[in-house]
Structure 1
Amino acid sequence: MKPAWVFAIALGSAVGWGASILPVEWLADGGTAGALIGFAIGTVLMAIIAVSYGLVIRALPVTGGELSFTLHAFGRYASFVVGWFLALAYACIIALNASAMTLVFRQLFPSVMERSYLYTIAGWDIHAPEVVVALAAMVIAGALNARGAALSGRFQFYACVIMMAAVGIVLVWTAVLYLQDPVPLYQGFPSEASPIAAIAIMVAFAPWAFVGFDNVPQAAGGFDFSPKKAMGLIVAAIFASGATYLTMILVTSVAASHAGGSVDGSVWATADAITAMLGPGGRALVVIAVVMGVITGLNGFTVSASRILMTMGRARMLPPVLGRVSHRFGTPVVAVAAAILIASPSPFFGRSALLWIVDMTSVGVTVAYFVTCLVAFKIAEEDGWSPGKTKLAKMIAIVGAVLSVGFLLLLIVPGSPGALATEPLVALAAWVVLGIVFFVLRKPAVDEMPEEQLEQVILEG
């Protein structure tokens, strides 16, 4: 993979569909000032964690990302825990991106997408056309990845360029209208929460909002450039993602004021607000941005989920067949198919139920951030760098680990501003129990693998 493709994977996966769909919800939770300040803080904090990823990739440029890092530094049991959570997180985000595509079709073809009603789950009506669109999006992403990294990387780059161009045009257009006819921005902070609480809610979104930059180490074994460049690419992608989120929040704040805040209850409130302000042209740009975001998210997380499953298969944590690589394309076709298969039931459960699972996966992603920072600390101690460089790397790793714990506490401590609701906590408990069962079943096979073979599993990436 070329540097531009790697940057596009990190940026496109991190931004995905969220920047074009969720800003109205963020404004409702944090207000304009709360959302902007919270996301700005979250961007800086995630960049600190991303530096640890860059340090680890320099030492371990292998496929499998956090799973391989943990396997190398802390052994097979710890790596199973990390891999188990990440496999679910990435598969769920594949599913959520696919479901976001149905929102686009709802916006463009509402009469078609609302035909053939099937049933309702958690207040979300399930229609047959939406199920078909979501499944088709996942299958196409899987087929693209099965064809090889070069094809998916190039595709990711072009989609990312189009997405950023659409966001840029919306920003300039909104700025021109605002200068011609200034309107008060949407409320600074919500009336029911203190400014600190509103900002904290937004900061708690950061692990989820920026998940995707860690797709880069999943494909590190396929770099055709020095791994030393990875850190700069990842950090740049974090700040570009943050700028995209801040742009869409600001644009939506202006648009919501133009719309008088009357779009909060619509299916895709952000698009409706921008359409009310910019007209059909604005709607077209938002649709383009979210379609490209969905494409980049689907592609990036299919890469990551399949590489995690492939590495777990090679390490015998999961059935070894997942480690098979296509002789023709050089891709883990079985793992790609498995990732899509895991995500495929999601369209039948509706977006509301899926959001509970995705909220839960924020915990797993945060655990992966924490473990990677610990790996970075260990590598800094062992790799024989200069005293000054070692001290700086260890300090950054410690700060990243502390931040990860802080993110985790915001999610799981009852009463905290970003605390998970009951449904995601129940889903988290169920996944942990299932992981324990799976670990017990696979433990004999994992224990039988010699250390030398485990090292080979890592280095094969």
Structure 2
Amino acid sequence: MDDHADSTAPSPQPGPDADRPRLSRTFRPSWIWAVALGSAVGWGAFVLPADWMRTAGPLGAILGFLIGGLLMLVIATSYGTLIRALPVSGGEFAYTLSAFGRNHAVLCGWFLTLGYVCIVALNASALALLARYVLPEVAERALLYEVAGWEVYLGEVLIASAALVVFAVLNVRGTTLSGRLQLIFCLVMVTGVAALLVGVLIHPDGSFGRVDPLFAVDSAPWVAVLAIVAIAPWAYVGFDNVPQAAEEFAFSPRKAFRLIVFAILAAALLYSAMILVTAAATSWTDLVAEDPLWGTGDAVSDLFGGAGTTLLAVSVSMGICTGLNGFYIAASRLLFAMGRGRMIPSAFARLNPRARTPSTGIAFVCAICLIAPWFGREALLWVVDMSAVGVTIAYTYTCVVAYRMFHWSGSLRGGGAEQLGTPAKKLLSLLGAVIGCSFLALLLVPASPAALGAESLIALGVWIVIGLIIFMLRRRENAKLTDEELDYLVLDRGP
């Protein structure tokens, strides 16, 4: 990847641009790749393999992630083209505005905000969960109360809160710092996974024989695989962080699609590798029957002892850090774009005068997420489960926008000499929209093997009501903008 970039930050422009704050072009290609990969993998690859094997078995889980990755590549085709056509902050929110207007854009942006904020909070809680396993004497200090069967300790609340504040400060200080750290975290994580996989394969007590049975015994293989495929929007969410930072690319937007593809492929391999590590290190059927706090941690500890646990802890810590950092970047840029379009208070469009970062959005995400550790991990999981709906809605909107913009003849509606919209891409965008709708059905249809539980549906309803209230309160303010003014503020078109 070409890491050469001109990191000189442009100065704010006088005149009309004073009403349209602009971010600095500082993100290098390797940093953006790390944002996509680190956000997509996060903590889940290290914490949840035992849960996935309980659902589908080792091979069923691996097949589910590989199929899910291929489906995400189809959806990513639309992202790659739209990043080139609209290289502005806001991603799916901006794309939806360009094709369907402000009401649809608000809907898309609101649900995507939900997904991003929830994942920031969940990564922070994953760090507290890791501390429970590695340093229980610190994390499990000062029991406060119990929520949904989960004991909440002051120690783990402080650990999660400290992580949220630290990464908020890092992101306020500048994209150069956050981008470089993201790449370092990502490389350490990949190295750790590779070392664990090689270690399991060459260890005399590691064995592929432990991977049997390949599928869960209590369900048909295709049903098990489908249940894993259904979580692909959640598992791979993070590649869509790339368009949120498009305005800050210090390179051609043409490269974005290749970076996304490399990130999705690497994420699929990392998920598969950690499932294989967990299954080959111990008897996975015995492991899931014990229902441990951290199945992968127990499996690696049994095989390698303290050294293996330390390597795994470092790897998962890097995954958590990449998730926190990546989604702080994405959430703050989305809020910045919505604030710049005055669909939420314009304070969100304010930039830190020195670092040129969307500090209001970063502070808002931090403040909201600081509430989450006090409710316990089980209650948070209900919210995160339904956040997959929000992410899938954004995926689907993006593919529908791409389909609408493309001609079968191979051009983009509204002109454009680059011939971005080939017939093949139009077909892929249609297929991506169908895939997005299918994911929504898997999550919302009661008979689906991946249907949301009652608690998650209630949380989804609450989020929708809150969104409607904010929309009604902001409707009069937003109506003051003409369509031309809104296109200028969000899409940088005209005037």
* TM more than 0.5: yes
Closer, same or farther: CA 331–194 of 1 in aligned 2, 3 Å: same
Deviations 1:202-237 (A, max 9, x none): 000100000011011111000010001000000110
Partner in structure 1 of residue 45 of structure 2 = 19
Partner in structure 2 of residue 410 of structure 1 = 442
Query: What secondary structure is seen at the aligned counterpart in 2 of 1:183?
Result: helix
CA contact (8 A) 2:47 2:294 kept: yes
Relative to structure 2, which stretch is displaced further, 239-248 or 177-186? Answer: 177-186
Deviations 1:410-433 (A, max 9, x none): 110011111111110111111111
Following TM superposition, by how much is the alpha carbon of 1:182 offset from its aligned partner in structure 2, in angstroms? 5.2
Q: Which has the higher contact order (CA 8 A, sep 6+)?
A: 1
Superposed, 1:74-153 pairs within 5 Å as: 74-153=100-179
Query: What secondary structure is seen at the aligned counterpart in 2 of 1:119?
Result: strand
Superposed, 1:231-250 pairs within 5 Å as: 231-250=257-276
State the distance in 2 between where 1:99 and 1:415 align: 31
Query: What secondary structure is seen at the aligned counterpart in 1 of 2:424?
Result: helix
Partner in structure 2 of residue 441 of structure 1 = 473
Amino acid at match of 1:399: L
Closer, same or farther: CA 156–137 of 1 in aligned 2, 3 Å: same
Amino acid at match of 1:434: I
Gaps of at least 5 residues in structure 2 are 1-26, 408-412
Closer, same or farther: CA 389–435 of 1 in aligned 2, 3 Å: closer
Deviations 1:80-126 (A, max 9, x none): 00111111111110000000111221122112211200000011100
CA contact (8 A) 1:411 1:420 kept: yes
CA contact (8 A) 1:313 1:321 kept: yes
CA contact (8 A) 1:218 1:307 kept: yes
CA contact (8 A) 1:307 1:332 kept: yes
Partner in structure 1 of residue 280 of structure 2 = 254
Partner in structure 1 of residue 392 of structure 2 = 366
Following TM superposition, by how much is the alpha carbon of 1:388 offset from its aligned partner in structure 2, in angstroms? 10
Gaps of at least 5 residues in structure 1 are none
Following TM superposition, by how much is the alpha carbon of 1:374 offset from its aligned partner in structure 2, in angstroms? 1.2
Partner in structure 1 of residue 353 of structure 2 = 327
State the distance in 1 between where 2:110 and 2:428 align: 26
Query: What secondary structure is seen at the aligned counterpart in 1 of 2:144?
Result: strand
State the distance in 1 between where 2:284 and 2:332 align: 44
Closer, same or farther: CA 246–350 of 1 in aligned 2, 3 Å: same
Deviations 1:223-267 (A, max 9, x none): 010001000000110010000000001111112317942674222
| Residue among 224, 236, 244 paired with 1:210 | 236
Amino acid at match of 2:347: V
Query: Is 1:296 matched up with 2:322?
Result: yes
CA contact (8 A) 2:206 2:282 kept: no
Query: Is 1:171 matched up with 2:171?
Result: no
Deviations 1:402-459 (A, max 9, x none): 0001111011001111111111011111111111111111111111112222122224
Partner in structure 2 of residue 395 of structure 1 = 427
State the distance in 2 between where 1:282 and 1:263 align: 22
Query: What secondary structure is seen at the aligned counterpart in 2 of 1:118?
Result: strand
Query: What secondary structure is seen at the aligned counterpart in 1 of 2:145?
Result: strand
Query: What secondary structure is seen at the aligned counterpart in 2 of 1:261?
Result: helix
Deviations 1:7-61 (A, max 9, x none): 0000000000000000000000111121011111101001111111101101011
CA contact (8 A) 2:210 2:279 kept: no
Partner in structure 1 of residue 382 of structure 2 = 356
CA contact (8 A) 2:192 2:312 kept: yes
State the distance in 2 between where 1:258 and 1:435 align: 43
CA contact (8 A) 1:45 1:403 kept: yes
Closer, same or farther: CA 262–301 of 1 in aligned 2, 3 Å: closer
Query: Is 1:69 matched up with 2:106?
Result: no
CA contact (8 A) 1:125 1:350 kept: yes
Partner in structure 2 of residue 40 of structure 1 = 66
Following TM superposition, by how much is the alpha carbon of 1:286 offset from its aligned partner in structure 2, in angstroms? 1.0
State the distance in 2 between where 1:387 and 1:222 align: 24
Following TM superposition, by how much is the alpha carbon of 1:138 offset from its aligned partner in structure 2, in angstroms? 0.5
Amino acid at match of 1:267: L
| Residue among 77, 101, 104 paired with 1:51 | 77
Closer, same or farther: CA 133–124 of 1 in aligned 2, 3 Å: same
Relative to structure 2, which stretch is displaced further, 443-452 or 385-394? Answer: 385-394
State the distance in 1 between where 2:312 and 2:134 align: 12
CA contact (8 A) 1:58 1:227 kept: yes
Amino acid at match of 1:441: L
State the distance in 2 between where 1:247 and 1:299 align: 23
Query: What secondary structure is seen at the aligned counterpart in 2 of 1:308?
Result: helix
Report the TM-score when normalising by structure 1: 0.97
State the distance in 1 between where 2:290 and 2:370 align: 30
Partner in structure 1 of residue 24 of structure 2 = none
Query: What secondary structure is seen at the aligned counterpart in 2 of 1:126?
Result: strand
Amino acid at match of 2:279: S
| Residue among 337, 341, 362 paired with 1:336 | 362
Query: Is 1:286 matched up with 2:286?
Result: no
Closer, same or farther: CA 167–187 of 1 in aligned 2, 3 Å: same
CA contact (8 A) 2:139 2:159 kept: no
Query: What secondary structure is seen at the aligned counterpart in 1 of 2:283?
Result: helix
Partner in structure 1 of residue 216 of structure 2 = 190
State the distance in 2 between where 1:123 and 1:290 align: 25
State the distance in 1 between where 2:127 and 2:76 align: 29
Query: Is 1:429 matched up with 2:461?
Result: yes
State the distance in 2 between where 1:215 and 1:182 align: 36
- How many residues are paired up? 461
Following TM superposition, by how much is the alpha carbon of 1:460 offset from its aligned partner in structure 2, in angstroms? 5.2
Amino acid at match of 1:130: E
Closer, same or farther: CA 326–460 of 1 in aligned 2, 3 Å: farther
CA contact (8 A) 2:443 2:450 kept: yes
